[in-house]
Amino acid sequence: MKDLRRQSSLIVAIAIAILLVSVSLNAQPQQQSPLALSEQSSRMEITTASPEARALFEKGIARMEKLYWEAALADWREAATVDPQFALGHVFLAMLSRDPAEQESEREKALATRKYAGPEEQLIVDWITNANQNHWVPAIQAMNEALGRYPRDKHLAWLAGLWLTGQRQSERAIPLFERASKLDPRFADPLNQAAYCYARLGNFDKAFELMQRYAALLPNEANPQDSLGELSRLAGRFDDSLKYYHASLKLDPAFIESQSGLGDTYAVMGQEEKARAEYALAMQKSTTRVQETTFALQSATTYAREGDFAKADAAFQEVAAHAHERSLGALEAEAWRMMSVYQRDNAKAMKLLTKAEAALHEQHKMSAASREQELAIILRTRVGRDVHDGSMSDAQSTLKRLEAVASSNSNGLVQFAFSGAQGAMLMAEGKFAEAVGRLEDDDKNPFSIQRLIVAYQKTGAGEKSARMAERLQNFYEPTIEQAVVVPQFRKTMTAMKDKN
């Protein structure tokens, strides 16, 4: 890597870090006179000439608070249809829709109708549309300005927290969820979101404390039980996880997240046939092409976890074909990439990664942010395969491509992908001390965790290595990386214990 590129990436990272730090600094309301604060509304500004559009938007917010995601999106679509000049409705769809074509079209509509919005709404439009186009500095500046100017808006704080969690910025999201809860102790979802943040940081005691408070606020809703099911799975409490998911489905049999959640729990338990049955039910209940395709990917992963790679290949090929037909370019790319991960033939894996990258450049509508995020993950996977195969020149070339993406894109997943790829390269070069810092940045990826265990050993950090080994054995995210790395790692650790 050239020093200039290193400096470019570092400068961007520092600039974004400074901006994000100000999110935490703004997490508490600014000092203002009691009169000034009393005059501020605790509600988000909603500018529309249509009372019907306003009512639909607020109905969608209420549904989203209880994680009825698709129902909320349907309300916002209707609101934007009733009032086509409703910028806030368009920008919420641009941010929260799972459909890449809709994200793109709604971004354009939000920009076109920005002039009809109020000051707070214009800042939200500037924030979301800039982020959607990978214009990170103006996006974060707009978010910070909105949070500073409207410190009593609970939904604004909540929205900013949701966005930051999407960037894998859990530590920075927590103060915003806490702000929203303080502004309205009956506002339930910030407790839910903060609990997930603490779980991602490894603090399960705090996560369960907050999640129980969340469940107490919504005793008759499905999502608190679903969230407790997911947290229990992440903590390795599988019986509890299944119990909570079933409780969620008893409250609402159509709560599809719990149906797929059962599949996720059975998958990491090693009960892959049961997992496929639950994913099949989730696909039957799906109301969108994105949901159905996502669950199909999870189902295909179960074959890889079983080591039945022929069936895994067939399942992933089918998902890729369906995603292509439905113009879901990112999911098609993900299918080919996931299929590459478990291949024993490196040449075949590289052909699949080439297919994955090609899918991103076809005429599929998707945001620049989605395209670059998926590309970064593909490139990280390619670097890992090259390093494993000993093709260091190819790995170096790919790493330079990934560095070019990361130098101008501060999306959390892009940055972590770059860190993981750098760590893999440094390990292959025997630069273990340098590798540690990079791999620690990508410590949600089982391949990076596995390398980090070795890096700690090589640098004399035996206790850290042991803790990381325990963490990898108890990694319960149902990803393709988990399917390939974790079961085999457990077998290796068991064999070593038996030998000793």
Domains of the chain (ranges, CATH numbers): 3-30+40-200 (1.25.40.10), 220-285 (1.25.40.10), 290-366 (1.25.40), 374-500 (1.25.40.10)
Q: Quick one: how far is CA 192 from the chain centroid?
A: 16
The whole-number average pLDDT for the span 249-259 is 96
User: Tell me, what amino acid is at 215?
Assistant: A
Which letter, b or e, does each residue of 251-265 get, where b requires 16 or more Cβ atoms within 10 Å of its Cβ?
bbeebbbbbbbbbbb
Amino acid at 436: V
Q: What is the pLDDT of residue 236?
A: 96
Whole-number Å distance between alpha carbons of 240 and 246 = 10
* pLDDT for 207 beyond 90: yes
Dihedral sign, Cα of residue 122, residue 128, residue 134, residue 139: positive
List Cα–Cα distances, 116 to 103, 167, 220, in angstroms. Answer: 20, 29, 39
The pLDDT value given to residue 243: 98
CA neighbours closer than 13 Å in the CB half-sphere of residue 63: 16
Task: Decide: 487 and 245 in contact? Cβ < 8 Å.
Answer: no
Q: Tell me the pLDDT band of 25, cut-offs 50, 70 and 90.
A: very low
Binning pLDDT at 50, 70 and 90, where does residue 403 land?
very high
Average pLDDT for 2-14? 38
Instruction: Tell me what the pLDDT averaged over the chain comes to.
Output: 90
- Cβ atoms of 372 and 414 within 8 Å: the answer is yes
pLDDT at residue 136, as a whole number:
86
Task: Give me the percent of the chain exceeding a pLDDT of 70.
Answer: 91
What are the tokens at 101?
A: 């074509």
Q: What is the mean pLDDT of residues 408-420?
A: 89
Q: Give the torsion sign (CA, 399, 401, 407, 409).
A: negative
Q: Distance between CA 224 and CA 500 in Å, rounded?
A: 44
Is the pLDDT at 37 greater than 80? The verdict is no
d(CA 356, CA 417): 16
| Stretch 91-109: mean pLDDT | 91
Asked if 377 contacts 418 with a C-beta cutoff of 8 angstroms, the reply is: no
Sign of CA dihedral 225, 68, 70, 373: negative
Query: Quick one: pLDDT at residue 370?
Result: 85
Q: Check pLDDT > 90 for residue 227.
A: yes
Question: How do residues 339-367 score in pLDDT, each as one tens digit?
Answer: 999 999 999 999 999 999 999 998 877 88
With a cut of 50, say whether residue 27 has pLDDT above it. Answer: no
Looking at residue 29, its pLDDT comes to 41
Beta strands in 314-462 (DSSP E): none
Lowest mean pLDDT among 32-41, 244-253, 466-475: 32-41
Residue 112 has pLDDT above 50, yes or no: yes
- Closest of 46, 15, 53, 42 to residue 158, by C-alpha: 42
Give the CA-trace dihedral at 379, 382, 388, 392, to 10 degrees: -80
Measured between alpha carbons, how far is 167 from 431 in angstroms, rounded to an integer?
29
Q: What is the mean pLDDT of residues 107-131?
A: 95
Token readout for 164 is: 């930051």
Q: How far apart are CA 185 and CA 217, in angstroms?
A: 9
Q: 35 pLDDT exceeds 60?
A: no
34: left (phi over 0), alpha (psi -120 to 50) or beta: alpha
Q: What does 394-431 look like in DSSP terms, one character per residue?
A: HHHHHHHHHHHHHTT---HHHHHHHHHHHHHHHHHTT-
Which pLDDT value is given to residue 500?
66
pLDDT on residue 473? 95
Looking at residue 42, what is its pLDDT? 65
Confidence of residue 411 (pLDDT cuts 50, 70, 90): confident
Residue 4: pLDDT above 80?
no
- Is the pLDDT confidence value at 41 over 60? no
Closest CA to 125 of 152, 92, 151, 99: 92
Does the structure show a pLDDT above 70 at 24?
no
Which is nearest to 447 in space by CA: 301, 455, 390, 463? 455
For the chain, the 3-state helix, strand and coil shares in percent, each to the nearest 5, are 80, 0, 20
User: What phi and psi values does residue 85 have, to the nearest 5 degrees?
Assistant: -95, 15
Q: Is 50 exceeded by the pLDDT of residue 39?
A: no
* pLDDT confidence of residue 9: 41
The answer for residues whose C-beta is within 8 angstroms of residue 446's C-beta and 6 or more apart is 472, 475, 479, 481, 482, 484, 485, 486, 489
Angle between helices 170-183 and 3-25 (to 10 degrees): 20
> H-helix or E-strand containing 189?
helix 189-200
